[in-house]
Amino acid sequence: MKSPIILFLGFILITFAGCRQDHPNSFEGRALGTIYHITYMGADDPDIPARVDSVLQVVNATFSVFDTNSLLSRINRGEETAPNTDLRHIIRTALSVSEQTYGAFDCTCQPLIELWGFGREKTTTTPSPEVVDSVRQFVNYRLVGLEGDQLIKRDPRVQLNFNAIAKGFAVDKVAAFLKHLGHKDFIVEIGGEVVASGHKNRRPWKVGIQVPTESADGPVESSQQFELTDKAVATSGNYRNYRERDGVRYTHILNPATGRPEETNLLSVTVIAPDCTTADAFATAFMVLGRSQAIQILHKHPELEAWFIYDENGQYKIDHIEP
């Protein structure tokens, strides 16, 4: 669901000058089909980049739908029924967010993702309503659950996909790893999803929300900027990952209720939450629900904060919903 463009669909890390009470160490790499950036304060540890890559390789080996040997791929083929600890955590979080968003977030959308050409096969044909309806029969988060350590599928045709939440989870995993090493002041960004811990030179970290672009390869520019400390932030949007067929743009934001790409004036939703897994899932759900319903849900969740960027008569508008 993301692109290799740096800081795709999300956040531009804003570096700024100041008194150098501590030394920032930065590095970047590639993982989960995108680019990551990490900055931590303190003494340089040359082993950290390789160890972070190892953490991310484990995440990919669990959740990737593109790696046919991943745990998720084997579960989708019916070869495995026992998720590991990370996958069980993701499933519980996904099902919880699904309940809270009336099914707008749905981890069983894998067949629809493939059908519309956003999965392994980049199809160029538009599926007929009849084909979409036939697939929707086994797209429903209530068809899966956990009983002990076992994944239960109430329909064997159910296929899981956690692309809308796994990147946020990966950010949380790297953040937890850095804390395990004793670091408390750092920022982790993977494909636009961010966790900020502590401070940079005694000041909060700064991030900015990307300005929506007309095309997938449009420039990466910051819009709203804000400070972030000991929280996570994720963005979902429809202006980078889409397909154009016969003059019609189909976005990768799929509505489980209709089985079709969502048609909305929302361009992006940015969510701040205590952890990036949660932020990632709610951002996707809010794109499906639309601004009005999403704001109603936000009022029930004081731990969440959100920005909505939408088109109104050809002009960008921004709503900021605080707790």
Query: 29 lies in a domain?
Result: yes
- Of 74, 93, 102, the residue nearest 164 (C-alpha): 93
Q: Is the pLDDT score of 1 beyond 50?
A: no
pLDDT of residue 195: 98
Burial-class residue 294 by CB neighbours within 10 Å (0-12, 13-18, 19+).
Answer: buried
Q: What confidence tens digit (pLDDT) does each residue in 260-294 have?
A: 988 888 888 999 999 999 999 999 999 999 999 99
- Here the tokens at position 242 are 């889409």
- 3 within a domain of the structure (yes/no): no
Tokens encoding 197: 């811990």
What percentage of residues in the chain have a pLDDT greater than 70? 85
Give the mean pLDDT of 11-16. 46
Neighbours of 214 (CB within 10 A): 7
**Residue 267 in contact with residue 316, Cβ under 8 Å?**
yes
For the residues 315-320, what does the mean pLDDT come to?
87
For residues 273 and 232, the answer to whether their CB atoms sit within 8 Å is yes
pLDDT tens digit sequence for 217-251? 444 445 678 999 999 999 998 755 445 555 555 56
Mean pLDDT of 134-162: 95
Whether 120 maps to a domain, the answer reads yes
Q: Is residue 1 part of a domain?
A: no
Asked whether 287 and 237 are in contact (CB, 8 A), the reply is: yes
Give the range of the structural domain holding residue 232, as residue numbers without chain letter.
Answer: 11-321
CA 18 – CA 63 distance, rounded (Å): 40
212 — pLDDT class (breaks 50, 70, 90): low
Closest CA to 116 of 249, 281, 26, 217: 249
Q: Model confidence at 312, in pLDDT bands (50, 70, 90)?
A: confident
The answer to whether residue 4 is domain-embedded is: no
pLDDT recorded at residue 246: 54
Q: Is residue 2 domain-resident? A: no
pLDDT for 183-199, tens place per residue? 999 999 999 999 999 99
Predicted pLDDT of residue 119: 80
Count up the domains in the chain and report the number.
1
pLDDT at 19 over 70: no
On whether residue 119 sits in a domain, the answer given is yes
Q: What is the CATH number of the domain that holds 233?
A: 3.10.520.10
Contact 218, 205 (CB under 8 A): no
273 lies in some domain: yes
Does the pLDDT value for residue 99 go beyond 60? yes
What is the reported pLDDT for 6?
Answer: 34
Q: Would you say 50 and 177 are in contact if contact means Cβ atoms under 8 Å apart?
A: no
